[in-house]
Amino acid sequence: MQVLNEVHLSGLKKSYMRQAALNGIDLHMKGPGMIGIVGPNGSGKSTLLKLMAGLIRPSSGQVKINNERITRRSGETTAFLSEDDSLYRFLTVSKTLQFFHETVPEFDLTKAERMVTELKLPLDRKVKHLSKGNRARLKIVVTLARSVPVLCMDEPLSGLDPLVRQDILKMIIRYADIENQLVFLSTHEVEEVEPFLDQVIIIQDGEVALFGEVETLRQERGMTVTELMREVLA
């Protein structure tokens, strides 16, 4: 896999109809590691992730990963985990892995099968009969099995109980290729995610209110990301 060096966002704007969702974002990010995208409801977190994954087009500006402009055909560069239920309910766990193997670029079936075995997910059970926690784990499995430089995870912890959330965070750390991949993760659970983050982007009203290395921000500002976020968004 190509080792990720940089993600460049320049003049990135996105409007839906006439409603602005992102108002011009300029960021230069270097991986590898985990970057948290946090901010209030409707601030533009999902929009930013979808733009980086090439799932939607910017109204203006651009996303470049390792100097290559991201387009809808950038499936070999980024994987996207949707907040919505993105699995086929009638497929079994095993058929789900097979389906992703056949349809998705850079899908490492051996890695996916290893994760499913270690997580004790029932191979022959249909997705619709899995518990909510196990469905969330399977979604993470099919994302983490992608050998691509950038993983974009939109609210992977949403709607899950605290024990499952902790489990999923540990899963991401354990199975993401953290030495090579850059993992973006949007969340409202800032306090829970903070210990796992290398960098953080705080978004407000479609603009970057703060971006930096978590450790540097803590040292320079003497505050946790959660406290900083409260201050920035106050």
Ligand X SMILES: Nc1ncnc2c1ncn2[C@@H]1O[C@H](COP(=O)(O)OP(=O)(O)OP(=O)(O)O)[C@@H](O)[C@H]1O
Closer residue to ligand X (CB): 79 or 112: 79
In the complex, minimum distance from the CB of residue 190 to ligand X, in angstroms, rounded to a whole number: 12
In the complex, minimum distance from the CB of residue 153 to ligand X, in angstroms, rounded to a whole number: 12
Closer residue to ligand X (CB): 145 or 200: 200
DSSP-derived secondary structure letter, 155:
S
Closer residue to ligand X (CB): 47 or 74: 47
* Whole-number Å distance between alpha carbons of 138 and 151: 15
Specify whether the CB–CB gap between 156 and 148 falls below 8 A: no
Residues at the site binding ligand X, with contacts judged by CB under 6 A: 16, 19, 21, 39, 41-47
Closer residue to ligand X (CB): 72 or 170: 72
In the complex, minimum distance from the CB of residue 56 to ligand X, in angstroms, rounded to a whole number: 8
Closer residue to ligand X (CB): 108 or 205: 205
In the complex, minimum distance from the CB of residue 217 to ligand X, in angstroms, rounded to a whole number: 21
Specify whether the CB–CB gap between 148 and 79 falls below 8 A: yes
Closer residue to ligand X (CB): 9 or 21: 21
SS (H, E, C) 21-54: EEEEEEEEEECCEEEEEECCCCCCHHHHHHHHCC
In the complex, minimum distance from the CB of residue 83 to ligand X, in angstroms, rounded to a whole number: 7
Q: Which tokens is 203 given?
A: 């978004």
* Whole-number Å distance between alpha carbons of 56 and 20: 14
Specify whether the CB–CB gap between 31 and 5 falls below 8 A: yes
- The enclosing H or E element of 144 equals helix 132-144
In the complex, minimum distance from the CB of residue 100 to ligand X, in angstroms, rounded to a whole number: 24
- The enclosing H or E element of 10 equals strand 6-16
Specify whether the CB–CB gap between 229 and 64 falls below 8 A: no
